[in-house]
Structure 1
Amino acid sequence: MIARITLSSVTLPLKQAISDAKVLTGRQRPMTEVAFLFAEVRTTDGLDGLGFGYSKRAGGRAQYAHAAEVAHELIGEDPNDIGRLWTKLAWAGASVGRSGAATQAIAAIDVALWDLKAKRAGLPLAKLLGAYRDSVRCYDTSGGFLHEPVERVLDNAEAARAAGIGGVKIKVGHPSPAVDLARVRAVRDRLGDDVPLMVDANQQWDRPVATRVGRALEEFDLTWIEEPLDADDVDGHAALARSLDTPIASGEMLTSVAEHVRLLDAVDVIQPDAPRIGGITQFQRLAALAEHHHLTLAPHFAMEIHVHLAAAYPHEPWVEHFDWLHPLFNERLDIRDGRIHLSGRPGLGVTLSEQARAWTVAHTVIQKGPE
């Protein structure tokens, strides 16, 4: 039975301020930190599960507060009944909805329950879910942001390849499409034609610009164009996918399975984020739908979670590599030959570092009786 749930709000400072197209268009400020919600679930027989979610810029405190308000519902419950417990938590906070911060708060606890279940079985999470492979293709994003001059982007791309990462994604959506095209051309020339290359506009184009720039990008044989349009513009994504040879990818900003369902017939690559849509329980529901639509799966961010979920997807997926989270965990993922290889460690295979504990800004222990 579940005896205790410990929730921690952790603020991860970034080494430098990060800017993508949303900053250049004036819609957001540069990002300087990421807020994480960690959930640690302990059972009466002394087993522990670890899960996490996150928020960029705003929302971290809301996630933490909501989790602290509903987590007591699980004390005394059987941690193996993960689907039922997800529903119980969702109903506990139903008045604030079934997407956004409410379900993102549940996600951290849900991931912890899956980590716990895999540890109880003595298996990596991917094996518990039913892995199709022991490694997953990966691509780097952290070196391709728009605040970086193109020379640094080129150096970062080469460093990523040298570190064993398979593909490279760079940000586009600059106010001048000519700048985007010049940066893409420079990266393609440096990497050669055989290296998978993706671009990400972060929803900053309208339909005419996305069409014009998308056609200009065709010559670079991109693996995909990501978020060319507003995440809710399903019809626009579908029209763009029909008009271009380059695959269209989207989904990371959606915060429920229901929101993704409308996108399944509009894109070629679906990019759900388990912490954003409510955890592994919801991700598995969406993955089944995506497989039915024969979509490529490329989960967003949180590679420590997503490598397991991608390994359990029937079609060959991608996982996004970010080095931002390295200080939070004691372990590192095994990256070589263009792929992330599963470790033999049970569960997610990661434990919280002392640095993560030091960055904790709020902490709650939920259990029966005194702490």
Structure 2
Amino acid sequence: MQITHIDAIPFLLPLRRVARFASGARERADHVLVRVHTDEGLVGQAEAQPRPYTYGETQASIVAAIREHLSAAVTGLDPLATERIDERIGALVGNTVARGAVDLAVWDLVGKLLDRPCRELLGGYAPDVAAAHMISHGDPAAMAAEAVEYAERWGISTFKVKVGRELAVDIAATTAIREALPDAELYVDANRGWDEDGARRAVQALLPLGIRSIEEPVPVDDRDARRRLAALWPVPLVGDESCTSLASTARELDAGAVGTVSVKVARTGFTDSRRILGLCLGRGIPVTVGSQYEGAIGAITTASFAPAFAATAGRAAEVMNYTDLADDLLAVPPDVRGGRIVPPSGPGLGIEIDEDKLDHYRLDSRPASAAA
């Protein structure tokens, strides 16, 4: 079996809620469906989410990177040659999310070829994982009401609270959520929105609320401040935007700037995400499986990785923000029960695209060959 080409299909989904945070806002769900085709008819699929305020990639740049570079780079390769494929797509500098989505689609293809779920191929440690929900900026009362809604509707008990605004608002929002859900597990993410002094003052007020960690409190380039804060706090400083690759994660660990690493398969695929996880295990650093506001396809992809490993299966994975969307491409939505997300049991990622919805939401024209 050989890869023949890769499709990159831009689509736009309607939002139920705009996600706002210190470094930007997800005001458009302008994602890309990536499809890796083979000469025997099997197709691997994944979702790419452009986040220009973090990685510099747009929907147009992801489509161009795949159509103009990555498709040709892997054409003719055996889908099982995942290391060779990784080498080929890694030759394109930058384009983090585009490369990650191709890697994920290849893994979906491998699972279909071997007739096994990706969760099992990656490690198969557990059948499911606890689900965490990220609560974006809003009025403190509304943020607390959102947390209660997710606790009552889905049984969610772990929440990432977006902070990095005015200190009083951050404290009020986190306090409101804690008072509404006294037993919930809370951690905060400033998305680089504080300076060092603001971070010190914020954390002094937030620690009594029982937060478990603080993610990216100050700009990534301010490494001295990050080291000082990491050494000062009794809870871990989480590396996210500072840990977007194996090399950058190693640098942060060497510098002593992070105590937990957020791995996002949307930007490092399954291949590099496993490498980052292995690096963290070797250094004794915990890993959280994070989210960049994926749709339902991305949520299932994350839910296939997190329970596959002993080191991540015991921590809630950030998978619930697909619910910020008013519609999606999947024929069957993610399976969330009792606060846990259960990845599909079918081969690969186990996802099925509703082709009518894809036709409705795609932003390019459907190829004549696909319509035949």
TM-score category by the smaller chain? 0.7 to 0.9
> Does 2:79 align with 1:90?
no
Distance 1:333 1:181, change over 3 A: same
Contact kept in structure 2, 1:52 and 1:107, CA below 8 Å:
no
Corresponding residue for residue 317 of structure 2: 319
> Does 2:121 align with 1:122?
no
Distance 1:227 1:11, change over 3 A: same
CA distance, structure 2, for counterparts of residue 138 and residue 202 of structure 1: 21
Output the TM-score relative to the length of structure 1: 0.86
Compute the displacement of 1:170 (Å): 1.9
Contact kept in structure 2, 1:68 and 1:364, CA below 8 Å:
no
What is the DSSP-based 3-state SS (H/G/I as helix, E as strand, rest coil) of the residue aligned with 1:56? coil
> Does 2:173 align with 1:169?
no
> Does 2:249 align with 1:247?
no
What is the DSSP-based 3-state SS (H/G/I as helix, E as strand, rest coil) of the residue aligned with 2:363? strand
Contact kept in structure 1, 2:165 and 2:194, CA below 8 Å:
no
Contact kept in structure 1, 2:243 and 2:261, CA below 8 Å:
no
Corresponding residue for residue 309 of structure 1: 305
Corresponding residue for residue 25 of structure 1: none
Judge which range, 162-171 or 209-218, deviates more: 162-171
Contact kept in structure 2, 1:303 and 1:319, CA below 8 Å:
no
Q: Give the length in aligned residue pairs.
A: 348
Distance 1:317 1:297, change over 3 A: farther
Contact kept in structure 2, 1:50 and 1:351, CA below 8 Å:
no
Corresponding residue for residue 64 of structure 2: 65
Distance 1:79 1:226, change over 3 A: same
Q: Which amino acid aligns with 1:311?
A: P
Contact kept in structure 1, 2:140 and 2:174, CA below 8 Å:
no
CA distance, structure 2, for counterparts of residue 174 and residue 80 of structure 1: 46
Q: Kindly provide the CA deviation profile for residues 42-95 of structure 1, in whole angstroms up to 9, marking residues without a partner as x.
A: 22222121122211356221111011012123222211101101212333x3xx
Q: Kindly provide the CA deviation profile for residues 284-324 of structure 1, in whole angstroms up to 9, marking residues without a partner as x.
A: 11111112122222222232212222112332333112124
CA distance, structure 1, for counterparts of residue 334 and residue 17 of structure 2: 23
Compute the displacement of 1:190 (Å): 0.9
Compute the displacement of 1:189 (Å): 0.9
Output the TM-score relative to the length of structure 2: 0.86
Corresponding residue for residue 214 of structure 1: 203
Contact kept in structure 2, 1:8 and 1:364, CA below 8 Å:
no
- How much is the aligned-residue C-alpha RMSD, in angstroms? 2.3
Distance 1:245 1:156, change over 3 A: same
Judge which range, 66-75 or 323-332, deviates more: 323-332
Q: Which amino acid aligns with 2:240?
A: G
Q: Kindly provide the CA deviation profile for residues 207-265 of structure 1, in whole angstroms up to 9, marking residues without a partner as x.
A: 11111211221101112222211134444333222211222212146432212222234
> Does 2:131 align with 1:138?
yes
Corresponding residue for residue 280 of structure 1: 270
Contact kept in structure 1, 2:215 and 2:240, CA below 8 Å:
no
Corresponding residue for residue 360 of structure 2: 358
Structure 2: gaps of 5 or more residues = 292-297
Q: Which amino acid aligns with 1:152?
A: A
What is the DSSP-based 3-state SS (H/G/I as helix, E as strand, rest coil) of the residue aligned with 2:113? helix
Corresponding residue for residue 174 of structure 2: 184
What is the DSSP-based 3-state SS (H/G/I as helix, E as strand, rest coil) of the residue aligned with 1:223? strand
CA distance, structure 1, for counterparts of residue 316 and residue 221 of structure 2: 23
What is the DSSP-based 3-state SS (H/G/I as helix, E as strand, rest coil) of the residue aligned with 2:300? helix
